[in-house]
């Protein structure tokens, strides 16, 4: 029987295969190749499409295929081995079979002239821990540099964030709220707790009515705009769906309800409920990102919408993300890019459960693996 981690890896791979196959059939292309390089919070994904014997690099790949691929590095991480740094996926038609080869040791090519911020190399090991023998030399050297140059300041910032979280859950130190929490041993509900409960109840009812095995909800928001996509998995097949049973109304309220003082509102969030994973417990899981750039389907964040976000959900300067890669698209002086060392991703106390991802691949001495058919 597969573990929870292996289920997630299998489902992630199958989702990519389904999306790619449907895309290639629709446009009648012959082949697609995808190269994915990643480390820490950084990733570079490139699509090459072959049509009528001509291979070209795509500026705008299929959105559904991209969204399925972007999570693969996470779901295919292996305990003790970490996440791969490079992967090549390809599919040829009419075969319609997804192939994959991955490398856990090579240094990723992120397509930038300057070395990425050292934080990303430290974040890599924090997110995807590795046994000593599985840490490549280039990663070990950069983590050592980070610990010498940035570690002390980073640790001070973590201490500040821990204090923030204590105040959010217990109340200001010395306050009546803190004394009451200490006396009763019960913590007050976090922001948005009631709204989260409402969303859980409605998602659970929808899951039961639909007869599906799993529901996934992907939310991306900026300012007053939100883009919400719903997916149902039934009989092992994941397909887009229209929310039912008042789910949309409840989900749309979450971003505003879960906004935090000083940190603002999350920009991306993933909610899911899975009957295989949680039996009949009705657990609604949520992962949220306060720093990642949201794609709300209209070409990326613009100046006005970013300004609206900061007006609706104020943040301290050190907690404001670089919402645009191009500095010309930066919003105002309040929203200029900040050093990764000052980033924070607070987990909400009412998040219930957490999945652990990975995949079973054939062990090779090169720390590489291949999935699917023969090499091309």
Same domain (yes/no): 298, 366? no
**pLDDT score for 270:** 94
**pLDDT score for 191:** 64
**pLDDT score for 183:** 79
Distances in whole angstroms, Cα of residue 309 to Cα of each of 139, 153, 200: 36, 28, 26
Give the residue from 343, 297, 281, 298 showing the smallest Cα distance to 317.
343
Distances in whole angstroms, Cα of residue 216 to Cα of each of 219, 295, 349: 10, 17, 20
**pLDDT score for 187:** 61
Domain that holds residue 60: 4-116+359-371
**pLDDT score for 182:** 75
Same domain (yes/no): 200, 326? yes
Same domain (yes/no): 74, 104? yes
Residue 8 belongs to some domain of the structure: yes
Same domain (yes/no): 290, 223? yes
Same domain (yes/no): 289, 245? yes
Summarize pLDDT for 257-291 with one digit per residue, the tens: 988 887 889 999 999 999 877 656 788 998 988 88
Residue 70 belongs to some domain of the structure: yes
Same domain (yes/no): 107, 198? no
d(CA 123, CA 201) in angstroms, rounded, equals 35
Same domain (yes/no): 198, 337? yes
Residue 134 belongs to some domain of the structure: no
**pLDDT score for 300:** 64
Q: SS3 of 98, please?
A: strand
Give the residue from 304, 198, 306 showing the smallest Cα distance to 245.
198
d(CA 138, CA 150) in angstroms, rounded, equals 18
Residue 55 belongs to some domain of the structure: yes
CATH number of the domain that 325 lies in? Answer: 3.30.500
Same domain (yes/no): 211, 315? yes
Tally of CA atoms within 13 A in the half-sphere of 48 that contains its CB: 13
Give the residue from 321, 326, 324 showing the smallest Cα distance to 338.
321
Residue 73 belongs to some domain of the structure: yes
Same domain (yes/no): 97, 197? no
Residue 155 belongs to some domain of the structure: no
Residue pair 67/18 in contact by the 8 Å Cβ criterion:
no
Q: What is the pTM of this model?
A: 0.56
Same domain (yes/no): 298, 364? no
Residue 187 belongs to some domain of the structure: no
**pLDDT score for 44:** 95
Same domain (yes/no): 94, 203? no
Summarize pLDDT for 151-178 with one digit per residue, the tens: 888 888 788 878 877 776 677 888 887 7
Residue 350 belongs to some domain of the structure: no
Give how many domains the chain has, as a whole number. 2
**pLDDT score for 322:** 63
Q: Which residues of the chain have a pLDDT value below 70? A: 168-169, 186-191, 278-280, 298-301, 322-376
Same domain (yes/no): 110, 219? no
Summarize pLDDT for 59-76 with one digit per residue, the tens: 999 999 999 999 999 999
Give the residue from 349, 343, 267, 273 showing the smallest Cα distance to 301.
267
């Amino acid at each position: 029987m597969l573990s929870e981690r292996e289920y997630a890896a299998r489902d992630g791979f199958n989702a990519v295969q389904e999306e790619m196959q449907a895309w290639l059939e629709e446009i009648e292309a012959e082949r697609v190749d995808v190269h994915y390089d990643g480390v820490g919070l950084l990733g570079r994904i490139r699509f090459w499409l072959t049509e009528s014997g001509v291979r070209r690099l795509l500026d705008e790949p299929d959105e559904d295929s991209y969204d399925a691929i972007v999570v693969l590095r996470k779901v295919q991480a292996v305990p003790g081995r970490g996440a791969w740094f490079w992967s090549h996926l390809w599919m040829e038609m009419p075969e319609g079979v997804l192939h994959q080869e991955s490398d856990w040791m090579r240094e990723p090519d992120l397509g930038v002239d300057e070395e990425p911020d050292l934080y990303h190399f430290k974040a890599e090991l924090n997110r995807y821990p590795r046994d000593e023998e599985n840490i490549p030399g280039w990663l070990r050297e950069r983590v050592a540099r980070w610990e010498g140059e940035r570690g002390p300041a980073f640790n001070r910032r973590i201490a500040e964030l821990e204090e923030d979280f204590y105040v959010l859950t217990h109340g200001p130190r010395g306050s009546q709220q803190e004394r009451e929490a200490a006396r009763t041993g019960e913590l007050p509900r976090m922001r948005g707790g009631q709204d989260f409960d409402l969303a859980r109840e409605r998602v659970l009812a929808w899951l039961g009515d639909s007869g599906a095995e799993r529901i996934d909800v992907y939310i991306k928001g900026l300012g007053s705009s939100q883009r919400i996509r719903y997916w149902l998995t039934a009989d092992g097949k994941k397909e887009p769906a229209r929310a039912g049973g008042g789910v949309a109304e409840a989900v749309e309220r979450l971003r505003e309800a879960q906004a935090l003082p000083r940190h603002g509102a999350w920009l991306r969030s993933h909610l899911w409920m899975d009957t295989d994973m949680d039996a009949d417990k009705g657990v609604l899981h949520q992962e949220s990102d306060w720093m990642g750039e949201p794609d709300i389907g209209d070409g990326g964040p613009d100046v006005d919408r970013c300004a609206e976000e900061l007006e609706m959900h104020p943040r301290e300067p050190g907690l404001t993300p670089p919402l645009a890669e191009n500095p010309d698209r930066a919003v105002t002086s309040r929203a200029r890019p900040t050093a990764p060392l000052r980033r924070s991703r607070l987990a909400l106390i009412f998040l219930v459960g957490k999945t652990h991802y990975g995949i079973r691949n054939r062990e090779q001495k090169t720390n590489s693996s291949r999935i699917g058919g023969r090499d091309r």
